[in-house]
Structure 1
Amino acid sequence: MSLYFVGNARHAEQAERMRALEAAGVCLFCPEQLDAEPAAGLVASTDEWTVRRNDFPYAGTKLHLLVVPRRHVTDLVDLPDAVLAQFWPLVRSLREEFDLTYYGLGARCGDPACTGGTIAHVHVHLLVGDVDDPGHEPVRLKLSSRRSN
């Protein structure tokens, strides 16, 4: 399995960034890279989790956060129980911080070539649709894809 699956990129800039990171052997979501990124997108960080704004938010969202474990795994259930136990309190704190009355959570586990994802480092999308936009279209989270591209 490759680290990135460019076939699921939604933007040319995103695909270009993924190709460069793949060539360098760098995982965008591993701590070394997350900690080196500008703090502008950082929302929260614990010993086990980092929350950042998505650089390429889904169409129709007014808030798109990525809740990323600080361990490189491709499946949430491969995280230790102690790490998983910190997830829900973190989501609760995000709900309170952003005063959310509605939101969606989505995660893809496994090979991104099959899940609709772009990176082989599991993360959870916290999505808030912009329902006050008169032209609002429902937010779409792709959950599968063909391997060939």
Structure 2
Amino acid sequence: MLPLTKWLVKDNPNVKYQGIESRCALKVRRDRYRLKYNRLWLSTGKDDGHPVDAILLPAAPGCPPPHGNSKYWSYTSQWNMLEYPGAAFPVTVVDPEIDVKDTSYVPRNDQDKFNYELYSPEWYTDAPIGLQLVARRFEVEKCLAILEVIERAMGRP
């Protein structure tokens, strides 16, 4: 087992064996959450009848981490659980002249500290900085069409 897989499956305190009953209960909770989130999304159109088409947000807490260190995926796992289509894409790259490390920053918890300590502008020079675009369930085509508009606006063919 590769180290990151071992960490995820065996060493992660959030991963627990689930029997049939507990798995079914989790699926019921997931489905309730999906319905609640869908209602929330649709409520963005209550004033004009046009709910938000897509959400543009970070793809990760920072640049792609060194191999074996991708231990925080809450930026994408939310959409996986909801089964919402998403597309991650590069926007720019790290420039050590601009992207200096804020040494006054105080991490909020151990996960935040882990990610903060991974970053070094010199080590990450020219690493991609990305965003992701997310649309509602079953709206893959809409998500990709919006991404095409974004790409053109960024001067990409």
| TM-score of the superposed pair, with normalisation by structure 1 | 0.24
Larger strand percent = 1
The structure richer in helix per residue is 2
Q: Which has the larger radius of gyration?
A: 2
Q: TM-score by structure 2 length?
A: 0.23
